[in-house]
Structure 1
Amino acid sequence: MHDDIRISLAATGDVGSVSRMVKAGVARQEIARALRRGELIRLRRDVVVSAAVWEAAQPWDRHRIRARAIMHSPQTAPALALSHHSALSLLGVPLFGVDNRVHVVRTDGRRGHSDDLLRVHAPISPSWVTEVDGIRVVKPARAALQVAGTFGIQSGLVSADGCLHLELCQPSDLDEALAVGGYGHGTSRAKKVVAHADGLSESAGESRCGWVFHMLDLPVPERQVLIHGRDGQLLGRVDFLFREKRTIVEFDGAIKYSSRDDLMREKLREDRLRALGYTVVRLTWDDLAHPVRVLGKVMAAFALVASAS
C-alpha cells in the first residue's frame, strides 16, 4: 500500500474517505491501485477500509468499523449522529440481536435517505448528542432504548445493562431518555428495559439469562454473589444464586477457558461448590435460544436439591 494512503488511514483509525484522501494529496490512481490489489476494501462510494484490518476484525467489530468509516466521510451530513447500536459500538457496549446497517439520526429536524448500508431515523434534539473520538453519537441511555424500540427487549436489555455496568449512564439517565419518547411502536419495549436493567450483568449472556428467567416465571435470583467455603475462604463469585433452592446458575460463554489450566480450575471450583450443597447449572448461548431447555435444566437442579434434603 502506498505510504500516503497508509498515513491517511492511520489518522482516522484504518478507515477513510476517498474524497478526503484526494483533497489531502493522495493520487486517485494510487487509491484505485490499492483497491485492485485488495489492499483497500470499499464499504461505500466514498468509504474505504484497510483490508488487513477488515479481515482480522471479529464480526461484532466490523459494525464499529463501518460506523466510524461512514462518519469520517465528508459526504456524511454534518447534522448526522450515530444512533442505536452504531453509537454504542464505539463505546464497547455489548450488543445482541441487531443488524449490520449503520444507524444514524439527524439533529437539524430534517429527514434523511436510507440505503443498504445506512438507516436514517427520525430527527432528535441535539441535546441528546455527544462526541466519542470526534464522532457525533447519541448519548448511551437514549441509544440503548433506541435499540430496545427497534430490535426488542432482549436486545435493549443487553445494551442498557452494558451501559450501566460500564458506567456510561445512570438509571436516572434511562428514566429521562424514556420520558422524552420517540420510540414509536417500541415504547412498551423501552419501558420494560428501563424496569429491568440494573447493570449487574457482566456480559450479554448474563443479561439474556436474567430475562429468560423472568419470562419463565422462575424465582428472582440474586446476582453476582460471593460464595465462601466452610473455612471462610472465598470460592468465587457466581452469576446467579437461587438461594432457597441452593442452586447456582453460571453463564458459560465458552471464552473464559483460554487454557486447560483454566478449565481445570473452574472444575475444581465447581466441585467445591457442590461439596457445600449447591447444585450448579451451566447455560450456553445455545441453551438461551431454547428457553424450554433452560427451564428443564433449572427445574431439574431444584428437584435434585429437594431430593437430597
Structure 2
Amino acid sequence: MNPTVRTILGAQGGVASTAQILAAGVSRFQLRRLVQDGHLVRLRRGVIVDPAVWRAAAPWEKHVIRARGLMLGPAGAPDSPVALSHHSALALLRIPVHGVDDRVHVVRTDGRRGQSDGFVQCHAPVAPELVRRAGAAPPGTEDRGSASQQLDVGPPMRAVRPALALLQVAATFGVESGLVSADCALRCGVVTREELEGMVGSRRLGNGAANARTVVEHADPGSESPGETRCRWLLHVLGLPRPVLQAVVRDHAGQFIGRVDFLFEAERTIVEFDGLVKYTDRQVLVAEKAREDALRSLGYSVVRITWKDLAHPQRVLAKVLGGFRAAAAA
C-alpha cells in the first residue's frame, strides 16, 4: 500500500475520506488503482477503508467505521451542521446496540433536514446545545475485540448527547433496542437516570415517545450484558414477577454461594442467562456445576436461558414456570 495512505489510515482507525488522501498528494488514478487491486475498500463515494481493518471488524465495529468515515468528509467539516445521532452516536462510545440498522444516522443543527440514502439516514434537526464532540470509548464501555483498539484513534466527532441518542434509539427501533443501550450507559456512567428523565421530558420524539418513556422507566444498570437485558425485558413482557438482579445467595451459615443474574425470591427460583452456549473449559464447567448443586441444595430451582431461547418466548415462559413448580415441590 502507498505509505502516505497507510499513515493516514493508521492515524484514524483504518478509515479516511477521499479528500484527505487526495490532499496528501495521492492522485485520483493512484487511489482508483489501490481500490481496484484490493489494497483499499471504498464503502461509498468519499469513504475509504483499510481492508484488513474492515475484515477484522465485528458488525458493531463496522458501524463505527462507517460513522467515522462519513464524518471525516464534508459532513464533519468545522462549519458543518451535521452530527451523528441514534446508535451511530452510541457506537463511538462503544455502547452496545441491538435490533438497529446499518445506516449511519445523523441530525442537523441548522433547522434543516438533510437527504437520506442507503448509507445515511438524516433525521429531524436538533438544537446545537444537544450536540457535543465524542471520541474514544470511555472507561468501562469497551468490548475489546478484533478491531476495537484500532478504532479508538482519530479525531473526536460531533454527536448528539448520549441521553438523547439513547432515546432516539428507543423511539425509532423499540423498547428492547433502547434498553440494551440504556442499561450499559447507566452501568458505565455515560449517562445518569436524571439525564434520561430530563431528556425524555423535554424532547418531542413523535410516534416513538411512548417507547422512550418506557425505556427510561425500566432501564437498570444491574443488567451486565445485552443478553441479560433482553432476558429481563422478556420476563417482564411475559408478565412474570419482577426478579432481583445480581442477587447474592448465601447458605444458612452466611457463606457466600454465588451471585445470580435473576432471583425470584418468593418463588425460590434462579434464572441465569447463558451468554456462552457451551463451556469449553472443563474446570469452568465443573465449578459451575458445583455452584448450581449448592444453590439447589438450598431449595432453589435453577433455570438457564440461552440466546436461542430469547427467540422463543413460550419456551422461556415454560422454563421459568417449570422452575417455580420445582421449587414449590422441593
TM-score, normalised relative to structure 2: 0.89
In 1, are the aligned partners of 2:19 and 2:46 still within 8 Å (CA)?
A: yes
Shift of 1:276: 1.9
User: What CA distance in whole angstroms lies between the structure 2 residues aligned with 1:3 and 1:229?
Assistant: 63
Flag structure 2 segments of 5+ consecutive residues without an equivalent.
136-155
Please show how residues 199-218 of structure 1 align to structure 2 within 5 Å.
199-218=221-240
Matches of 1:61 and 1:255, distance apart in 2: 23
Count of residue correspondences: 308
Is the Cα–Cα contact under 8 Å of residues 46 and 75 in structure 1 kept in the other structure?
Answer: no
CA distance in structure 1 between the aligned counterparts of 2:164 and 2:289, rounded to whole angstroms: 41
Q: Which residue of 2 aligns with 1:91?
A: 93
The CA deviation at 1:69 is 1.2
Of stretches 257-266 and 276-285 in structure 1, the one that deviates more from structure 2 is 257-266
SS at match of 1:244: coil
Matched, 1:293 2:315: yes
Matched position secondary structure for 1:124: coil
Whether the 8 Å contact between 1:85 and 1:98 is mirrored in structure 2 is: yes
Gap change, CA 1:255 and 1:17, over 3 Å in 2: farther
Q: Which amino acid is the alignment partner of residue 135 of structure 1?
A: M
Equivalent of 2:198 in 161, 173, 176: 176
Report deviation, 1:33: 2.3
* Residues in 1 aligned to 2:256 and 2:100: alpha-carbon distance in whole angstroms: 38
What displacement does 1:230 show? 4.0
8 Å contact kept, 2:184–2:225: yes
The 2-side partners of 1:231 and 1:27 are apart by 75
Shift in Å at residue 88 of structure 1?
A: 0.6
Structure 1 residue 94, shift from structure 2 partner? 1.6
Structure 2 CA distance for aligned equivalents of residues 46 and 224 of structure 1: 47
Query: In structure 2, what is the Cα distance between the partners aligned to 1:182 and 1:25?
Result: 47
With 51-60 and 272-281 compared, the bigger mean Cα shift is at 272-281
Query: How far, CA to CA, are the matches of 2:106 and 2:17 in structure 1?
Result: 18
Give the Cα separation in 1 of the matches to 2:291 and 2:49.
45
**1:236-247 pair list within 5 angstroms:** 236-247=258-269
CA shift digits 1:107-149 (9 cap, x unpaired): 1111101000100000001111111121011111111110010
Residue 131 of structure 1 corresponds to 133
The residue aligned with 2:54 is 54
Provide closer, same or farther for how the CA distance between residues 193 and 41 of structure 1 changes in structure 2, counting only shifts above 3 A. same
Report what 2:283 is aligned to: 261
Letter paired with 1:105 = V
**Partner AA of 2:40 in structure 1:** L
Indicate conservation of the 8 Å contact 2:277/2:306, yes or no.
no
Cα drift, residue 258 of structure 1: 6.0
Task: Tell me the equivalent position of 1:276.
Answer: 298
Which residue identity is paired with 1:6? R
Q: Deviations over 1:24-69 (max 9, x none)?
A: 2233333222211212111110001110011111112111111111
CA displacement 1:8-33 (0-9 Å, x = unmatched): 11121110011111112233333222
Task: State whether structure 2 residue 55 is matched by structure 1 residue 74.
Answer: no
In the alignment, structure 1 segments of 5+ residues that lack a partner are none
Quick one: which amino acid aligns to residue 87 of structure 1?
A: A
Matched, 1:5 2:36: no
CA deviation digits over 1:207-232, x for unaligned, max 9? 11121111111111001111223453
Alignment of 1:188-203 (within 5 A): 188-203=210-225
Q: Would the alpha carbon gap of residues 111 and 157 (structure 1) be closer, same or farther in structure 2, given more than 3 Å must change? A: same
After superposition, the C-alpha distances for 1:130-187 in whole angstroms (9 at most, x for unaligned) are 1112101111111111001000111111111111011101001001110122311000
1:268 Cα deviation from its structure 2 partner = 2.2
Paired with 2:33 and 2:8, the residues of 1 have a C-alpha distance of 16
Counterpart in 2 of 1:103?
A: 105
Instruction: Report what 2:146 is aligned to.
Output: none
Task: Quote how far apart the aligned CAs of 1:257 are.
Answer: 4.6
C-alpha contact (below 8 Å) 1:5/1:21 kept by paired residues: yes
Per the alignment, residue 37 of structure 1 pairs with 37
RMSD over equivalenced CA pairs, Å: 1.6
Q: Secondary structure at the match of 1:198?
A: coil
Call closer, same or farther: CA 1:264–1:2 in 2, change over 3 Å: farther
Give how far 1:192 is off. 0.7
User: 2:181 is aligned with what amino acid?
Assistant: S
Q: Secondary structure at the match of 1:68?
A: helix
1:259 Cα deviation from its structure 2 partner:
3.0
Q: Aligned partners of 1:176 and 1:257: how far apart in 2? A: 43
Tell me which residue corresponds to 2:64.
Answer: 64
